[in-house]
Structure 1
Amino acid sequence: MEAFFKTHKYLVEHTDAPVRRNLMNEIDWSDRLIGIKGTRGIGKTTFLLQYAKENFDTNNRRCLYVNMNNFYFQGRGIADFAMDFYNHGGEVLLIDQVFKQQNWSSELRKCYDQCPNLKIIFTGSSVMRLKEENPELCGIVKSYNLRGFSFREYLNLQTGNNIPVYTLDNILANHVEIANEIAKNVDIAEHFNSYLHHGFYPFFLEHRNFEENLLKTMNMMTEVDILLIKQIELKYLTKIKKLLYLLAVEGLKAPNISNLAGEIKTSRATVMNYIKYLSDARLINIIYHPGDEFPKKPSKVMMYNPNLMYCIYPIVADRQDVMETFFVNMLWKDHSVNQGNRDAAYIIDNKLHFHVTSANHIRRTRNSSEQLYATYDLNIGQANKVPLWMFGLLY
């Protein structure tokens, strides 16, 4: 136990989160069992350590961070360790990468039942289905998703500003005033283009090649998050990776499931399952027409965020595709997104009709006052034409 406290103290004292994530304010910290899911490389470990740094002195031993990567836990279960910590005055146990422990869900249930005053906060992969696949946790676990940096968070980090979160209703009603205020202090276009290329994942702050780092992360998502958690045999890994590549280079369109099945030499049903796994891993987004859902064929498949598009060789990051991918990624956190009646059209929350397009395209076509336009090439909009970058202020 002493070694774990020593590691905890070192990690917390050397944690310096560049941005205080908004999720920190959204979580109800009074709950006893809290799960924080997110894609690999998104900053879950930093999030846990930042919570410890903000709420506990490193010397009082009431809070402890442990990582299930430690080989120690191959010989000792979470519940046994947690009981020991609890009996020595422990109050909050932070468990990183909980899925690395066999039978982790039943172990967490034991902790919950045997240590009534112990709070456990754990991280896991976005692929995990905490309640659907782990009935022993139903009714006792509260699950949250940690996302990559929004454009707002990236902008605050790069410029030193403190731009607040805006709701979608607020943006639609006041986008001209909000944009004018922000544009006074920052170069929107320059920062927006940089964000689309490398701003979603926190490791752009590291002094390493961003694309290589992201490629390694993408491989880990398939090799560990999907295969390990979904218990897929290693021999199928190449099929999943090839499918991801084919979906990426095909761009934003409805996938031809029969062709994809032929390309990776598997059944149509398996292709659909693999697409779902890639979506769960936050490597792609699946768009459906209103009323449709898995296992129906998607109306469109796109990469999960624009950063991923710049890592696929040969690079096929079509500007229109990049802008639509950004729009969907930002809206997806708190809103439903469905396919509209045109290629670049989307229905938000089953009522708002958006068209993602350039300002030049709007000028060349007859536009409707009932249609909302998420418009790139605009720093400041007007009426129903909202600058696309502003949807990056939603979280």
Structure 2
Amino acid sequence: MENLMQIHQSLTDTPKEFLRRGLMDEIDWDGRLICIKGFRGVGKTSFLLDIVKEKFAEDKGCLYVNLNNFYFTKRKIYSFADEFYKKGGKVLILDQIHKYPEWDTELRECYDNFPDLQIIFSSSPVLRVLEGHDNLKGIARVYHLEGLSFREYLNFKGGFDFKSYTLTEIIENHQSIAAEITQQVKPLAFFNDYLETGYYPYFINSKSFYREALLKHVNLALEIDVTYLNQIELKYLPKLRKLLQIICSQVPFTPNVSKLSHDVEISRATVMNYLRYLKNSRLINLLYSNGDEDQMKKPDLVYANNTNILYAVDPENINNRNLRTTFFYNQLSYKYKVKSSDKGDFKLESKYHFTVGGKYTEPVDSGSYAAADMIEEGKGNVVPLWLFGFLY
């Protein structure tokens, strides 16, 4: 344990550029069992270490450990937590819980036997923390660390402190909100860079190798998160990679399951399963007309999860229409229900119909809205597209 404490101290003492994530303010810190899920490279480890620094900097009873450490091949989480608790431990932070067998059983044992111990753990987005683990239902609180919103990116790059807004606030007050922001910064000067290399925090260390870093994590997500956690044999990995490439070369598109089945050489049922796996791993988004994401139902449209993935996986499929709709869906879907619309591109919260386009885009009727690119401020039912990056 002493060695792990030394690693904790070294990690928390190492100076680094601080990128404060909005999720920090959304977590109920009274919970005794908190899960942080997120895509590879999205910044889960940095977020956990930032939690230590912001919430428990002066608390010697807090310890961060990475379960990749070979120490945990010979030591059980429960046994380790027991020793830590008896020595006065209060907060145990476990990184990469999905690497550890029978993690759910041991977390439950810790919860039942150490009433004053708080456990915060991270996992792959694919891991079913509550589904299929009844022993954690009602006690574990699950949060998703998404990629950077445009607001978070802008705050970091420009040294600003812009706050987030609700969807209702943006729809009703977008003119005054945009005017306040544009007095301090020209958001469109940062927007294109964000779409290409701003969603993941790799740019902090090196923008030059951003796509290479993202492709590495995309492949790791396919090789480990999607295949291992869904118990797919590794020999099917090339088919998963081919399906993702086909999707990114065509999105947004209405999937022809029969054609995808033929092109990838898998069954129709497997295509549907793979689409769900790719969505759960935060590589693609699926859009439905009624919000029903039944695995047997074909989605109306398939999108890349975010614009950065488009640039990395198939840069030949980059166009304004694709970038705008992908950005809009990505930034909205984190907190709000997004469906396909019969009089626009998207229907939000079952009542707001939005058409997404360029600077001259208009709502289809008086009861709908437009998200227009290349404008700093909107008017009436026309809202600047970039402003939807301020929702979290």
Instruction: Indicate the TM-score class for this superposition, using the shorter chain for normalisation.
Output: over 0.9
The residue identity in structure 2 corresponding to 1:3 is N
* Poorly superposed stretches of 4+, deviation over 6 Å: none
Kindly indicate whether the alpha-carbon contact (under 8 Å) linking 1:5 and 1:61 is maintained by their aligned counterparts in 2: no
How many Å apart are 1:45 and its aligned residue? 0.7
TM-score, normalised via structure 2 length: 0.96
Alpha-carbon distance in structure 2 between the residues aligned to 1:242 and 1:316 = 15
Find the residue that maps to 2:372 and give its secondary structure.
strand
TM-score by length of 1: 0.96
Which residue of structure 2 aligns with residue 16 of structure 1? 16
Q: Distance in 1 between matches of 2:44 and 2:292?
A: 32
Please give the root-mean-square deviation of Cα atoms over the aligned residues, in Å: 1.4
The 8 Å contact of residues 175 and 381 in structure 1, kept in 2 or not, is answered as yes
* Greater alpha carbon shift after TM alignment, 206-215 vs 4-13: 206-215
Alignment of 1:317-356 (within 5 A): 317-341=318-342, 345-356=345-356
Contact 1:148 1:201 in 2 (8 A): yes
Please give the residue correspondences for 1:141-290 in structure 2 after superposition, counting only pairs within 5 Å: 141-207=140-206, 208-290=208-290
Match of 1:53 in 2: 53
After TM superposition, the structure 1 stretch with the greater mean CA deviation from structure 2, 134-143 or 322-331, is 134-143
Could you list the runs of 5+ residues in structure 2 that have no partner in the other structure?
none
1:333 shift after superposition: 1.2
SS state at 1:34 partner:
strand
> Where do residues 279-318 of structure 1 align in structure 2 (5 Å cutoff)?
279-295=279-295, 296-318=297-319
Q: Given the superposition, is the C-alpha separation of residues 36 and 314 from structure 1 closer, same or farther in structure 2, using an over 3 Å criterion?
A: closer
Residue 15 of structure 1, CA deviation: 5.0
CA distance in 1, matches of 2:57, 2:179: 42
- Paired with 1:144 and 1:361, the residues of 2 have a C-alpha distance of 35
Alpha carbons 2:248, 2:314 under 8 Å: kept: no
1:115-137 Cα deviation digits (max 9, x unpaired): 11111000001111211121111
Output aligned runs, 1:82-161, within 5 Å. 82-161=81-160
Contact 2:355/2:364 (8 A) holds in 1: no
Equivalent AA in structure 2 for residue 332 of structure 1:
S
Q: Is the 8 A contact 1:15 1:46 kept in 2?
A: no
Contact 1:66/1:94 (<8 A) preserved: yes
Q: Distance in 2 between matches of 1:55 and 1:185?
A: 30
1:367–1:140 Cα change, 3 Å: closer
The residue type paired with residue 130 of structure 2 is K
Q: CA deviation at 1:294?
A: 2.2
- Residues in 1 aligned to 2:374 and 2:193: alpha-carbon distance in whole angstroms: 14
Letter of the 1:14 counterpart:
T
Tell me by how many angstroms 1:350 deviates. Answer: 0.7
1:27-80 CA-to-partner distances (Å, cap 9, x unmatched) read 11111100011111111111111111123346x630111101111111111111
More displaced, 187-196 or 289-298? Answer: 289-298
Gaps of 5+ in 1: none
